Amino acid sequence: MKLFMAALLTETNTFAPMPTGHAGFHGDSYRRRDASLEPPAWGNIPLIAWRRLAGEAGLTVIESLTANAQPSGTTIRGVYEELRDTILADLAAAGPVEIVLLNLHGAMVAEGYDDCESDLVARARGIVGPDTIIGVELDLHCHLDERLAENANLVITYKEYPHIDMTERAEELFALALRAARGEIRPVMATRRMRMINMWHTPVEPMKSLIAEMQAEERSGKILSLSFAHGFPWGDVPHVGAVMLAIADADAAHAQNAADRWASRIWDLREETRKRFDTPDQAIDAALAGEGLTVIAETSDNAGGGAPSDCTAMLAAMLRRGVTDAAIGVFWDPIAVQFCRDAGLGARFPLRLGGKCGPMSGDPLDLVVTVHALADSHIQTALSGGVRDFGPSAWIEAPSGRGSIHIIIGSDRNQVFNPDAFTGLGCMLADKRMVVVKSSQHFYAAFAPIAARVRYCAAEAGILRDFAAIPYVNFREPYWPKVEDPFA
């Protein structure tokens, strides 16, 4: 039995000012045929699991492309088509295969393609024919579309946000695909569109218990798989929003019933799970009022959601308030890093920081900074055993009030996952009162253990966090929280 596998991932923020182009996909993560033999990074994590499991099951593995781009704006058409056609050419060259497993994001938009994943899977189906099992693993921040379910046999999304379960979901997908290829099960999928735009954090209640209940139902054997696709709010496509998906064994009505039942469970929790964000001043107030370290997520400037990560709004508020004993990062500002490198270790000089990419970035800040550390490569621990490199980076300090604020700046755009995004350059957090991380939620797993409290903040610049006010043009359905009852 032969397994064909590939990975193509990006999360497209159609409101972001930066294009997603060739260079975005052709960085260190770009691998042809051997990504699963590399250490875990991000896109290859499921493929590592699939290769291991295929070996145990005696399957022949044919590996194609792994490419993932940091979330940015709409992908350039020719760039997507070249990546897609590389995978499809490898699939055609592989000859008959029993199983195709694809690690995709699910919210990739390219010029002319509002649903790249459905396009790719439909073309893959055209090559392999009706009998091959096609399984797809998606980020839960996907635009799960019925078009995908038409051509895939199995779709599984991550259950956890932060995404700490990529490997577990890959293992489940492999197991179901193998059973299906052996004729032991006949998976049927059903979806329920929920007309909800929100962000759901799974380490906390009520989502924590809800996820546990879903998994209990899966273990009971009553259903093969349940996926709650949260959706990605900043993709202006007709099918944006949360979707519940269920996979049953040969029983479409049972799958639909499960999808409907879980969708209505989540709908009923809408007030409890409605995301509200601090203003920068509210977050600073909370940090100043409390003992111990406050971790503030600057969610509106999360590179992982397609924000530039050079927004100055939060740092400007901290400076205005004279905040001290604080750290913030990681700013994406390769020019500022270069100036720090030119100035050298220990130098004190005027530096213009951030505010470069567009209106989402706010205004640049003119600071007088001291350079405490420089590095050619600054690697942080990411999720599910992966790592991310900020590239050439600097740790600088700027006066604020009667003290100072410590700032990390990098050359490669990444969100913050782990305290080593700071400590890796020598910027300690134990002596700080607040640390601001440019991240939405993926920081949480590693920062919660050192935080006395965690606050989620949204500045007026950056990614719009008022879900009711996102200026959709292509998404026309009524949705909560813009209207109280989108099905009325």
Residues of this chain that interact with Zn ion (CB under 5 A) are 139, 141
Q: Which residue is nearest to Zn ion (CB)?
A: 141
Least separation in angstroms between CB 139 and Zn ion: 4
Q: Which is nearer to Zn ion, 31 or 141 (CB)?
A: 141
Least separation in angstroms between CB 200 and Zn ion: 11
Least separation in angstroms between CB 304 and Zn ion: 7
Q: Which is nearer to Zn ion, 141 or 406 (CB)?
A: 141
Q: Which is nearer to Zn ion, 139 or 412 (CB)?
A: 139
Least separation in angstroms between CB 251 and Zn ion: 30
Q: Which is nearer to Zn ion, 235 or 280 (CB)?
A: 235
Q: Which is nearer to Zn ion, 132 or 384 (CB)?
A: 384
Residue 353 and residue 409 in contact, taking contact as beta carbons nearer than 8 Å: yes
**Burial class of residue 347 in the structure, from the number of CB atoms within 10 Å of its CB (0-12 exposed, 13-18 middle, 19+ buried):** middle
Least separation in angstroms between CB 124 and Zn ion: 23
Q: Which is nearer to Zn ion, 63 or 301 (CB)?
A: 301
Least separation in angstroms between CB 256 and Zn ion: 26
Least separation in angstroms between CB 305 and Zn ion: 8
Buried b (16+ CB within 10 A) or exposed e, 441-475: bbbbbbbeeebebbbbbbbebbbbbebeebebeeb
Least separation in angstroms between CB 442 and Zn ion: 8
Q: Which is nearer to Zn ion, 139 or 310 (CB)?
A: 139
Q: Which is nearer to Zn ion, 107 or 408 (CB)?
A: 107
Q: Which is nearer to Zn ion, 202 or 361 (CB)?
A: 202
Q: Which is nearer to Zn ion, 200 or 390 (CB)?
A: 200
Least separation in angstroms between CB 39 and Zn ion: 21
Least separation in angstroms between CB 366 and Zn ion: 35
Q: Which is nearer to Zn ion, 200 or 339 (CB)?
A: 200
* Euclidean distance between CA atoms 379 and 376, whole angstroms: 10
Helix/strand/coil (H, E, C) string of the chain? CEEEEEEEECCCCCCCCCCECHHHHCCCCCEECCHHHCCCCCCCHHHHHHHHHHHHHCCEEEEEEEEECCCCCCECHHHHHHHHHHHHHHHHHCCCCCEEEEEECCCCCECCECCHHHHHHHHHHHHHCCCCEEEEEECCCCCCCHHHHHHCCEEEECCCCCCCCHHHHHHHHHHHHHHHHCCCCCEEEEEEECCECCCCCCCCCCHHHHHHHHHHHHHCCCCCEEEEECCCCCCCCCCCCCEEEEEEECCHHHHHHHHHHHHHHHHHCHHHHCCCCECHHHHHHHHHHCCCCEEEEEHHHCHHHCCCCCCCHHHHHHHHCCCCCEEEEEEECHHHHHHHHHHCCCCEEEEEECCCCCHHHCCCEEEEEEEEEEECCCEEECCCCCEEECCCEEEEEEEECCEEEEEEEECCCCCCCCCHHHHCCCCCCCCCCEEEECCCCCCHHHHHHHCCEEEEECCCCCCCCCHHHCCCCCCCCCCECCCCCCCC
Least separation in angstroms between CB 414 and Zn ion: 14
Tokens of residue 155, six digits? 């779709």
